[in-house]
Every structure is written in C-alpha cells, then in structure tokens.
Amino acid sequence: MYTFLPENVTPVKQKPSKELKPLIGAVLFGILLLISAVVAWCYYSASLRKAEYLKTELLDLRKNGYIIKNQQGKVVFRVAFQSGNLDLESCSKVGGNLTCTRSDKGKLNFFIHTVKPKDTVMCYRVRWEEFVADSVVRQTMFWDEAHWYGGAEMAVQHWPIKLSGYQEPKPFVTSDVYSFRDSFGGIMERYWLSSNAAAIKINDSVPFHLGWDSTEKSLFFEARYNDTSYKPPLGQPPFPELSYRVCVGSDVTSIHKYMVRRYFNKPSKKPSESAFRYPIWSTWALYKTDIDQDKLIIFTENIKKYKFNCSHIEIDDMYSKAYGDFDFDPVKFPNATQMFKKMKEEGFKVTLWMHPFVNYNSLNFGVGIERQLFIKEPTGKLPAMVQWWNGIGAILDFTNPSAREWFQSNLKRLRSKYSISSFKFDAGEISYLPKQFSAFKPLSDPSIFSRRYTEMAIPFFDRAEVRVGYQSQNISCFFRIIDRDSVWGYELGLKSLIPTVLTISMLGYPFILPDIIGGNAYSNGTGGGEVKPDRELYIRWLELSAFMPSMQFSVPPWLYNKEVIEIAQKFSELRESLVAPLLLELAGEVTDTGDPIIRPIWWISPSDETAHKIDSQFLIGDTLMVAPVLEMGKQERDVYLPIGKWRSYKGELFQNTPILLTDYPVDLDEVAYFLWVP
C-alpha cells in the first residue's frame, strides 16, 4: 500500500537520540587522536632517520659542531662551528660520506668522510668550504682535559702545550721567534696530537690561521684570504676552505706513529756520523761578528790544546766584506786559502754561515737586480727591500730556478776553493718577507718559500744545518732550534730545550741541533757584563746537550776553570761511549720508521697520565732515559720512572715502577740517567 503526500509537504528528519551523541563524539575524538599519532610517528621516524644521517661511526654532527668518541665511548675531540650553523635539513648520508649543502648564512660545501684504515684507527676527513669571496671559516677545537703536543716552535715553549691569554687567529707561517717573540717559530707543521689519542692534520690547501683562548681551553682554526699573505691558487676565486683529517687511535703513541707514516715524509739518509759523535764548535757566541783569521786559528789551537774532539768548525757571521758576498774579507782573512789548507791537514772540517739576503752594499746586489733573482714587491717590477738583523737588502727568490742555480753555484765555488765541508743555513722565515710580495712562482702558502730555501742544503746534507722546517722532513740534515738566551727559564732558556726538541721531534724532524751550549751569551743574560754565561748554567746546559742528537760549543769550557774543562771532557767522552752509538743506531732506523730519536716519556707508557705531563725528562729511543737538573742552585731533582725495570747511572736497580723518586741527588758534575733493563 502506498501513501502519497502532498507536494508541498517535507518529511521531518529524525534526530539522534541522547544516548547516541556521546558515542559519535568519542568516535570523532578517536579519529583525531589516530591522525595525531600517525603524524607524530611519521615525524619521529623522520627525526630518527635524520639523526642517523648525522651520525657516522663514532662522530655525532650537530648544527653548531660535532664530537668524536673513542671505542670506549669517551669524547676525545670536540669542535664548535663559528662561521654559522649547518642547516641539518640539507644534510644527507651515503655510506661513510655525510654531506651538507647549506648553513644559516647560505650555500656551502660541507662533508665528513669516514675511513677506517686499521682496526685500531678511525679517521674523519672534514671540509667546510664557502662560496662567498673573502669570507672567513672559523672553528673552535676544545682541548678540554687532554694534553696536546705539536704545532710549532715557540719563544715560550712548554710540553705539553701551555698557552696563555687570548689570541685572535693569525697566519700560521714561519717566523723568527728570537726577534718576534709573539709569532710562531721557524720549524712548524699543521699537526697536533693529544693524550686522548686524537690527532689532527690541517690540509696543505688551507689558508690557515691559528688562535687560542686559554680561559675556555681552545684553539681557533681559521681559513681566510683577506688581510693575509695567503693567496688563492692561480685562477681560482678567493673562496676559503677549512679542511683537515682527524684520526683517533687506541693510545697516543700508536696514533702518532700512524699519522707520521701516513702524512709526513721521512729522511732518506742520515747526516755525518761525526756530527752525532763529536761536538760542533761555532765561532758565534765567542766572537760574534768580530771573527777573523787570527781568532779562528787560536780557537782551533785551543780545541787541540784541551784535547777535545771536533765534528767541524763553524765560521759564523761577518767573515765576508758585505752581506751577500760569497767570499772572505781579505782584511779579516788575509790568507784564507793557506789557512784552510792547514786546518784540513790538522783534521779540521769547516762549515760556513750562510743566509738568503743580499744587502744593498754588496757587489752581488746589482747582479741580482740585473738577473731578476730577488723576491719582488707586489707589482713584480722592483725588488722588495727587506730589513733583517744585519741591515737592509733584498732576499733571493728560491722559487726561481735561476736564483737557486746562482746561489748553489756560489756555494759550490766556496766549497771547491777553500775545501769547505758544508754550510749553516740561517734565516729563511717568512717574517723577513714583506706581507705582500711577488715570487717567480706564485705561492698560495707563503711558508713554501721556507721549504724552497731549506732545499738548498740538500747537496751539503752531511754537515749542513738549517733553522726553518716546513714540509721538509725528507731533507736529511740537522734542523737547528732558534737561538737561546743565556737564562734558565722557558722563554728561550735552558728549560725550553727539552720541550722544544720534543715538539720538533713530534713534527717529524729527528736530526735536531739544540743550538749552542750556554746560549748566545749576550751581556743582558745571566753573565752580567761578561761575554760568557753563568758558570752553573753553562755546566747544566752542556750536560743536557751531551744527550741530544748533536752537541755544539761556542763559548768554550776553558773560559771558566779547570773543573768546567774536566766536566766538559767527561761528558764529551760519555757522549762518544754511551750516547753516540745509540743515536747512530736510531738515526739508521729513522729512514724506515720515521720514529723520533728523542722521545717523550709517554712513548713507552702511553696510558700513563703522569708521563703525559713530564717536560724535564726524555728518552733516547726506548732504552735510555735522561733527567737533567734544570733549576739554578739545585743538586737534586724529582725523577719519574715509568713502568719497567730501570738501572741508574749509579748502578741502582728500580723494579717497583712506576715510581716518583723525590729529591734524587744529582751533583753538579752529573746528569741523572737510567737504562732500561730487559
């Protein structure tokens, strides 16, 4: 049956009952909760994936820096970005490569590449490159509670590194720290090593500047081209990059061995055996620039008279008429040819002081201008005149093959004419070049100039010495630390010797000349108005030098008294009998291993936290430990014996080690040394 309604009548909708309303609301609320949960889960999953992207092996990347942990989970390396925060949404990870393309300041190229070259070593290649001309890339590395080693020779040298105050980043280039005390030294590498078994090597391509903040215990690593002597490679825009490698190992010794073998060259041969065995005798501290033929003859006669052996005689500053001349002043040396012939007959070998300067009053100044042998001012038209400690002149451009050949030919002529054995190559630091200059071959890194100068020593390597070292570990000659003052302290004094030698050793330079015994003996030193250092200082200095790779006298023992002469003879003989055989054995191994000859105490006990801080003892190889007295007025010192069995020079046997021997007695004519007992 059908019911028909009139067309103008609308059916009435039935309202839900009161019982159904709460049920519908619950369903709607449940749907909203489900949607929220799905969204939250998706966001959480994406966050987990992003967090995974920003983690590579034991490195955690954040927008403002990163940390690296060791295998035990301890943070051993921590860096903060100062040039902006990474946009983490721009980061991606493929295998061991983590890449980011933006920061909060714009486009960049950032990556971290992870490699594991050994089971016990993990390495990270890090690069931050800007695409804005003349911008700055800066990162802060915190040394936290670790001890750090390496970097550069400094005027105030500590082991481990101890920096004071605040220093804005400055160019990390070679400099004469004797004349410019706040600069970096002439022997340097972009390499640092920590007691936490982390090491960093800054890439050669970086326009590298270094600063620090001792309050927050940090180093500033900076890359920039503006207001600096660094230049971008020819034809490339000035986009700075800060790139480096960080490697973490199981202990400080093993990670250092890995870094040296991986990133440093090694010497290909060892210098003359006599330079390890016998003292070198220099004219500098005794005669300064007043050296002449008569004084030189007296000097050699006294060496024979007091029965000292001699590796070679080193004739220092001002034997020529003008700086830049390659011959003897006929007034000061009226019969040089005959004098050298006689010295040769008497068994003396001779080396000559040499430098890269040609002063304006030298006859060779005109030669250099005519042949365009000099470093030039920025336009490349005129020679750049420089001021050095002996006047004003030009400096030879060792990137120029013609200048190298001219310089070498003059040295070879001297060697042939006077039977000269080799040369002492002084200076060579960038601090003696103008901030802006032009070289025959453009230098992106100005310190390469120092490297090119050092190469001049290669033909004369057996008795040569240089005082600049930068990427020069393969040059098989002695590297001399900068001049010392005749003082006791850490600023170019006696206490600075061991920290400086250890630092240079860690930078890959095994053949080290610790400069002259007693220092420069200037009248403002401990000697008052005299020309010789304080007697006690001189004795302690020669005792320490007897255990170094090379030993050099200038102020001679006979200027003091019989006791000093006898002490000098005693330690010269001890060097020949005990030290030299070990030095020569280790020097022979260097060409294969790259291991240092002079080693820190932690070398044989890398996990010993006490050993990490010791700056007044050292090892020759692994078997001879030396603990000289470095304090004025002291005839005792504390000696730390690391784990092992040790026999003292007095015959005592120490087996319950490690142990600290407090106030261990050491007479004025003694050095405390200990031999490892197998």
- The structure tokens listed for 262 are 């991986």
Quick one: tokens of 76? Answer: 């051993």
Band (96; pLDDT cuts 50, 70, 90): confident
Do residues 34 and 87 share a domain?
no
Angle at 200 between CA 198 and CA 201, to 5 degrees: 150
Inside any domain, residue 300: no
Whether residue 3 has pLDDT greater than 70: no
Residues 125 and 199 in one domain: yes
Q: Is a pLDDT exceeding 70 seen at residue 245? A: yes
**Nearest partner of 649 among 553, 549, 548, 547, judged by Cα:** 547
Flag the least confident range among 9-13, 21-25, 78-82, 472-476.
Answer: 9-13
Extract the tokens encoding 333.
Answer: 């040396």
What is the tally of structural domains in the chain?
Answer: 2
Which tens digits make up the pLDDT trace of 377-416? 999 999 999 999 999 999 999 999 999 999 999 999 999 9
Give first-to-last CA distance, the chain, whole Å.
119
Residues 6+ apart with CB under 8 A from 587: 270, 271, 276, 510, 511, 549, 597
User: Do both 47 and 188 map to the same domain?
Assistant: no
Q: 311: which 2 tokens?
A: 């590796």
Residue 657 covered by a domain: no
Beta-bridge partners for 338: none
Question: Do residues 33 and 123 both lie within one domain?
Answer: no
Q: Are residues 46 and 84 in the same domain?
A: no
Q: pLDDT tens across 32-91, in order?
A: 776 665 554 444 444 444 544 588 889 999 999 999 999 999 999 999 999 999 999 999
Q: Give the pLDDT score at 232.
A: 95
Whether 208 is covered by a domain: the verdict is: yes
pLDDT surpasses 70 at 14:
no
Q: Kindly state whether residue 346 falls inside one of the protein's structural domains.
A: no
Quick one: pLDDT at residue 18? 58
Q: Look up the domain containing 39 and give its range.
A: 28-54
Per-residue tokens: 92: 């991606």
Answer yes or no: do 49 and 116 share one domain.
no
One domain, residues 36 and 66: no
Residue 626: inside a domain: no
Q: Are residues 68 and 188 in the same domain?
A: yes
- pLDDT score for 38: 52
Instruction: Give exposure, 240-258, as e/b (b: 16+ Cβ within 10 Å).
Output: bbbbbbbbbbbebbebbeb
Give the per-residue pLDDT at 491. 98
Q: What is the CATH number of the domain that holds 130?
A: 2.60.40
Tell me: the pLDDT tens digits for 294-345? Answer: 999 999 999 999 999 999 999 999 999 999 999 999 999 999 999 999 999 9
Instruction: Judge whether 534 and 527 are in contact, CB under 8 Å.
Output: yes
Q: How confident is the model at residue 467 (pLDDT cuts 50, 70, 90)?
A: very high
Query: pLDDT of 345-369, one tens digit each?
Result: 999 999 999 999 999 999 999 999 9
Average pLDDT taken over every residue of the chain: 93
In a domain, 40, yes or no: yes
Local confidence band at 522 (pLDDT 50, 70, 90 cut-offs):
confident
Average pLDDT over residues 650-655: 98
The reported pTM is 0.92
* Domain shared by 123 and 141, yes or no: yes
Whether residue 182 sits in one domain with residue 194? yes
